[in-house]
Amino acid sequence: MTSIGTGYDLSVSTYSPDGRLFQVEYAHKAVEAAGVAIGLRCKDGVILGVERLLHSKLLVKGANRRIASLDEHIGLASAGLLADGKHLARRGREEASSFRENYNSPVTVQILSDRISAYLQAYTCYGSVRPFGLSSIVGGVDKTGPKLFCIEPSGVYYGYRAVAVGKGKALAKTELEKIVNKNLESGTEGGLTVREAIDEVARIIYLVHDDNKDKDFELEMTWICEESGNKHALVPEDLLKSAEEKAKAALEEGMEED
């Protein structure tokens, strides 16, 4: 890395001569080491999925989740440093509840993402702090419909139809593009239903995982849709199971073709 030894990569309060903040770029590296996280916006809701890598066989099943609820109707999936993710989710919950306190109505996904991103950005302005080692996907259904955003360590955030962050995000994104393009061509933007999307997200996560030849993982999926009462909730066990089986079958099929 060209930045090493130049002295411009020690603090986020000093630009390099070509106008980069190396600490922020290093934070992106921390994200790339994490298991993939995927968000998919459908016509009737939003799906969040995470490949939670298991560093030990002794871990309790379902422990250390990487998807958190920020409010009834909004979920946050993060890729990067686990503890940073927990802190950010806590902050997000506080923002969401303070919005309710002030305005007596649920916060929209856009406004909450904006506030979280402002918080992240503040950690790119001072020499005394380090930026968050996180890319976060914020998804939810509010009065404006299903919404999906991704916030980077720098504090920038964009709205997406579908997004992937973490290890193997490139492969995941090409798969997501295929799905989105198919819907765009058939003239039904966001034409997927959440039920269909569960299978797709599971398939992509299994595919990405297989491609990386990584240690064991647990698939973690949540949704916000009519079926979950427009609340952020875990995808029911039976749906998750069947999606995983289909994903494994699709992988086998893919291998035979190779």
User: Contact residues for another protein (CB under 8 A)?
Assistant: 62, 65, 67-72, 75, 89, 93, 97, 100-101, 104, 222, 232-234
Shortest approach of another protein to residue 66 CB, angstroms? 9
Tokens of 85: 């993710």
The residue among 43 and 65 lying less far from another protein, judged by its C-beta, is 65
Place of tokens 């875990």: 234
The residue among 53 and 221 lying less far from another protein, judged by its C-beta, is 221
The residue among 139 and 190 lying less far from another protein, judged by its C-beta, is 139
The residue among 9 and 84 lying less far from another protein, judged by its C-beta, is 84
The residue among 169 and 232 lying less far from another protein, judged by its C-beta, is 232
In whole angstroms, give the CA distance from residue 245 to residue 59.
Answer: 23
Shortest approach of another protein to residue 112 CB, angstroms? 13
From the list 118, 169, 160, 170, the residue with the least C-alpha distance to 139 is: 160
Shortest approach of another protein to residue 44 CB, angstroms? 21
Shortest approach of another protein to residue 184 CB, angstroms? 32
Shortest approach of another protein to residue 47 CB, angstroms? 15
Shortest approach of another protein to residue 99 CB, angstroms? 11
From the list 30, 32, 37, the residue with the least C-alpha distance to 52 is: 37
The residue among 115 and 173 lying less far from another protein, judged by its C-beta, is 115
Q: To 5 degrees, how large is the angle CA 6–CA 11–CA 16? A: 45
In whole angstroms, give the CA distance from residue 195 to residue 175.
Answer: 18
DSSP 212-257: HT-S-EEEEEEEEEGGGTTS-EEPPHHHHHHHHHHHHHHHHHHHHH
Tokens of 191: 């034409």
